[in-house]
Structure 1
Amino acid sequence: MLQGSFLFFMLAFLLVGFSSVLLRRKKSSDYLLAGRSLPPSLAGLSAVATNNSGYMFIGMIGFTYTTGLAALWLMVGWILGDFLISLLVHRRLRRATEKFDSLTYPSLLGNWYGQNDRAVRILAALLAVVFLGIYAAAQFSAGSKALHVLFGWEQRLGVMLGAGMVLFYCFSGGLRASVWTDAAQSMVMLAGMLIMVWITLGRFGGVAGSWEALNGVSESFMTLFPEDLAFGAAGPALFVIGWMFAGFGVIGQPHVMVRFMSLDSEDSMQRARAYYYTWYVSFYTLALVVGLLSRLILPEIAAFDVAEDTELALPTLAAQLLPDLLAGLVLAGLFAATISTADSLILSCSAAISQDLLPERWQSFGLTRLVTLGMIVLALVIALVSDESVFILVLYAWSGLGAAFAPLLLAYTLDRRPSQRLALAMIIAGPATVFAYQWVDTRIVDTVYEILPGILAGGLVYVVGSRFESGRRAASSRP
């Protein structure tokens, strides 16, 4: 019954995505940006689903299962940072997209003021392909974990099935197919997790009984901050600020920002953000609660020491708590979420290659789809050979992208105009700092998320570089 339910609802999600072919136009602008016609409801729901998906349903719940209540600060910092930066960036981003007819995120960075910085576009496109490819691989891995728990399938088989479904989405309706599926699975997963929370709380005597049981898991499970943070009394504050910078980093994520680039109008941005943050807070709160409560229902997983085992908490919980029909629906929604997000990531990669890296005379709708196929194969290979958890893969890709692009985009929205040379230095400084940060003491890395020094490095390069350029201009203008 469970397998039949899963397959039925999985087919339903596929049909939702495929139905977008009815509105498809064989143009790159339609394939990559849905013709810039997304209503605020779809743009907001799709953006939050793409932002979370495998990270939230697999990685974050697994992290909460292991860490406990301290995972709350990832939610608080991340959403607060995301909200604050959106007030400054989102509307200006949509305006610049339309003004200069940008089809991709790298082209937007290279042409914000109509300056056509070709080198900026190329470097941004190269970094996008690398990090988004890793990100897409994490989504394939997340979906395969659900199938592993459901049916005992080899995770390798689930990865390949996911890649095949992404190919189906990409070749049916492009971004529009992903957006429609995002909206459908968003509602399903929200309802499914609400039901699981309700059932679990009932088993342990409501909120008070569950809270008491959670306090009995271990001495540290329900403490507000992780143990052994660096920097003494300043450690908790730096821990939260680090995750706030993770929220700032959303403006450096091409696959998320493309939703706002595709909005039907700049005037719709406020309503899109209302949908986005309502669902974001709801998703994250439920993910945190499910992660905590899963420790009570599935204590045996804690006997394992690797993240890959704890990341199976949500699909295992759904299979145990829910009737087969509902469990199949929730797990189909989870799998569809990871696949539609992977689709978005692959589309952003193929857009960067076909529109920003290849010569203009080669750009066409057909070539964009061919590049998409190549990116699916690359992400498939990464997913098959990587031993990292979904949580680590997503955070690594997120920090690399955010550190590379957020400082430059922020400078643009503040009406600053760094030279092409300075813009390139900012894009390089962020990921280089994130990479170097991996060699720092482990306690420091666990206290301050790596995106914070990465973004600050890009900002510092701008401050120093702009003053240096101003000084040179002043010196050259003297008689």
Structure 2
Amino acid sequence: MLMLQGSFIFFMLFFLLIGFSSVLVRRKESTDYLLAGRSLPPSLAGLSAVATNNSGYMFIGVIGYTYSAGLAAVWLMIGWIVGDFLISLLVHRRLRRATGSFDSLTYPTLLGNWYGQNQVGVRVVAALIAVVFLGVYAAAQLSAGSKALNVLFGWQQGLGAVIGATMVLFYCFSGGLRASVWTDAAQSSVMLLGMGLMVWITIAEQGGVEPSWAALNAVSTTYMNWFPTDLAFGGLGPLLFVIGWLFAGIGVIGQPQIMVRFMSLDSEKSMRRARAYYYGWFTAFYSLAMLVGLMSRLLLPEIADFDVQQDTELALPVMAAELLPGILAGLVLAGLFAATISTADSLILTCSAAISRDLLPSRFQGYTTTRIATLVVIVMALTIALFSNETVFWLVLHAWSGLGAAFAPLLVIYTLGRCPPQWLTIVMVVTGPAVVLLYQLLDPRVVDTVYEILPGMVAGGLVYLVGEVIVRQRRGKAPLTPGVNEKSR
């Protein structure tokens, strides 16, 4: 235990030192604090984006879900990555171009000023939605890190969340986005190494690949089925299940904490290289995380006796502590905890930017105000983490679907050359999250079959189509292009 604790503390300090070292190149201005001066090379942007995308959700949530669901969890990976990649071909380069064209420092500002239209109402509504859902997302990261410390040292989970929030506070104040990006890059390698190590050891424990596959098939008659057995809609259930997770991947463009990495890229010409880093690491890491989730069912069968997924999410830290030598277990768990802290940092920075730049009057905007807003958001996220009974997996998915349903349809509309008037844009970004929340009231089998982001995003798109018809009838036959809407801005 002493070796484990020493290794954990050493590697945690190493990760934190990387983040804190960003203070050496920090400039006390908003562009540097929020967008790292728009100077990120493609390697850092791509690795930071994939670390932010995965972190506690992958280490804790996906492994716990795979432990419970079995092979059917593979569709989360396939749908998520394919959807993410396809939408990136349409949006990412145009997003970076729009960021530079109108000097947008925050994601809500970008949405309200994509064509230079300066829709203040859109900025305010988008910022409010971002603060709510990103706060929940940050709480999930604090909860994930707290679970790791609970298993590692036996601490109460509330104490781990408080420690994590305190570290995030110092982390945010040290170097803003740059501190998070630098640490993300280091963690990406540790995350991949740790998952690879866990896969190798767990398969070796079973005697190789073939014995492992046979043992997984023996777990139950349904554990290695390609699809869950309790899907709704009959024969259409599997197709809708896959499409739902495809839309989850498309929803990445509605995630401010990830898109801000691409907004901070040094040039839109670097986007292809940034995507290569991003999707290469994403595919490798997700595949390894799924394998760890499956193998953990063989090595920790006793967790399956618990009634809630909350306990299955402890699979990775339990296995690391039991199977790895102390120094390696400390490395894996330090990488897990540091990844959750760094992602929480990214989420909280995005929240605080939305508050200080988009919700407050211009006379209050500035570097100091942004840091005060950061403190407020940390307290909000910590409160949610301490009192929420939701699993990390579902906290992340609810936040992801709310943000994706709010912003992804609008971003697609923008990249297709359309510019809705302010009232229509606001209705779009409000309708998506509203449908996501109402969707939870349906039959649980329906909710489990079709991921909630799909009806949310479809609703946002339908609102635009109806609104375009209304606007055309008022103005004539011209589509909602930037030129047509020039007078309405």
TM-score by structure 2 length?
A: 0.97
Question: After the TM superposition, which residues 17-36 of structure 1 pair with which residues of structure 2 at under 5 Å, given as runs?
Answer: 17-36=19-38
Partner Cα separation in structure 1 for residue 389 and residue 199 of structure 2: 31
What do the CA deviations read for 1:217-248 (whole angstroms, capped 9, x no partner)? 11111000001111111110100000000001
Counterpart pick for 1:136 among 115, 138, 147: 138
Partner Cα separation in structure 1 for residue 335 and residue 40 of structure 2: 22
Question: After the TM superposition, which residues 425-440 of structure 1 pair with which residues of structure 2 at under 5 Å, given as runs?
Answer: 425-440=427-442
Change (3 A) 1:475 1:310: closer
Match of 1:331 in 2: 333
Say if 2:91 is the partner of 1:89. yes
Partner Cα separation in structure 2 for residue 117 and residue 431 of structure 1: 20
Partner Cα separation in structure 1 for residue 275 and residue 180 of structure 2: 19
Say if 2:264 is the partner of 1:262. yes
Counterpart pick for 2:233 among 226, 231, 234: 231
Counterpart pick for 1:415 among 414, 417, 423: 417
Structure 2: unaligned runs, 5 residues or longer: 479-489
Partner Cα separation in structure 1 for residue 27 and residue 229 of structure 2: 54
Match of 2:110 in 1: 108
Share of identical aligned residues, percent? Answer: 74
Counterpart pick for 1:396 among 395, 398, 411: 398
Change (3 A) 1:171 1:239: same
Say if 2:157 is the partner of 1:148. no
Match of 1:454 in 2: 456
Partner Cα separation in structure 1 for residue 364 and residue 168 of structure 2: 24
Question: After the TM superposition, which residues 48-67 of structure 1 pair with which residues of structure 2 at under 5 Å, given as runs?
Answer: 48-67=50-69
Q: Give secondary structure in 2 for the equivalent of 1:430.
A: helix
Q: Give secondary structure in 1 for the equivalent of 2:476.
A: helix
Match of 1:177 in 2: 179
Q: Counterpart amino acid of 1:465?
A: G
Counterpart pick for 2:345 among 316, 333, 343: 343
What do the CA deviations read for 1:239-259 (whole angstroms, capped 9, x no partner)? 000000000100000000000
Partner Cα separation in structure 2 for residue 266 and residue 23 of structure 1: 23
TM-superposed deviation, 1:97: 0.2
Say if 2:252 is the partner of 1:250. yes
Q: Give secondary structure in 1 for the equivalent of 2:281.
A: helix
Match of 1:296 in 2: 298
RMSD: 1.1
TM-superposed deviation, 1:193: 1.2
Say if 2:284 is the partner of 1:277. no
Q: Counterpart amino acid of 1:361?
A: R
Match of 2:484 in 1: none
Q: Counterpart amino acid of 1:62?
A: G
What do the CA deviations read for 1:8-51 (whole angstroms, capped 9, x no partner)? 11011110100111110000000000000111001000001101
Q: Counterpart amino acid of 1:112?
A: W
Partner Cα separation in structure 2 for residue 183 and residue 113 of structure 1: 32
TM-superposed deviation, 1:361: 1.2
Partner Cα separation in structure 2 for residue 199 and residue 314 of structure 1: 13
Partner Cα separation in structure 1 for residue 145 and residue 185 of structure 2: 18
Q: Counterpart amino acid of 2:187?
A: Q
Say if 2:192 is the partner of 1:187. no
Counterpart pick for 1:206 among 202, 208, 213: 208
What do the CA deviations read for 1:396-443 (whole angstroms, capped 9, x no partner)? 000000000001011000001111011011001101110110111111
Match of 1:443 in 2: 445
Q: Counterpart amino acid of 2:110?
A: L
Q: Counterpart amino acid of 1:355?
A: R
Partner Cα separation in structure 1 for residue 207 and residue 156 of structure 2: 37
TM-superposed deviation, 1:146: 0.4
Structure 1: unaligned runs, 5 residues or longer: none
Q: Give secondary structure in 1 for the equivalent of 2:402.
A: helix
Q: Counterpart amino acid of 1:106?
A: P
Partner Cα separation in structure 1 for residue 279 and residue 49 of structure 2: 10
Counterpart pick for 2:311 among 290, 300, 309: 309
Match of 2:356 in 1: 354
TM-superposed deviation, 1:203: 1.6
Partner Cα separation in structure 2 for residue 322 and residue 173 of structure 1: 34
Partner Cα separation in structure 1 for residue 39 and residue 475 of structure 2: 43
Match of 1:374 in 2: 376
TM-superposed deviation, 1:202: 1.2
Q: Counterpart amino acid of 1:215?
A: N
Question: After the TM superposition, which residues 162-173 of structure 1 pair with which residues of structure 2 at under 5 Å, given as runs?
Answer: 162-173=164-175
Q: Counterpart amino acid of 2:148?
A: A
TM-superposed deviation, 1:186: 1.0
TM-superposed deviation, 1:80: 0.5
Partner Cα separation in structure 1 for residue 189 and residue 101 of structure 2: 34
Q: Counterpart amino acid of 2:404?
A: G
Q: Counterpart amino acid of 1:258?
A: V
What do the CA deviations read for 1:161-192 (whole angstroms, capped 9, x no partner)? 10011011100000000111111111011111
Counterpart pick for 1:11 among 5, 8, 13: 13
What do the CA deviations read for 1:185-216 (whole angstroms, capped 9, x no partner)? 11011111111111111121211110000001
Q: Counterpart amino acid of 1:273?
A: R
Partner Cα separation in structure 2 for residue 201 and residue 393 of structure 1: 30
TM-superposed deviation, 1:287: 0.5
Number of positions where the alignment pairs a residue of Structure 1 with one of Structure 2: 477
Partner Cα separation in structure 2 for residue 468 and residue 192 of structure 1: 54
What do the CA deviations read for 1:58-104 (whole angstroms, capped 9, x no partner)? 00000000000000000000100000000000000000000000000
* 4+ residue segments displaced more than 4 Å: none
TM-score by structure 1 length?
A: 0.99
TM-superposed deviation, 1:475: 8.9
What do the CA deviations read for 1:430-478 (whole angstroms, capped 9, x no partner)? 01110110111111111000000000000000011101100111299xx
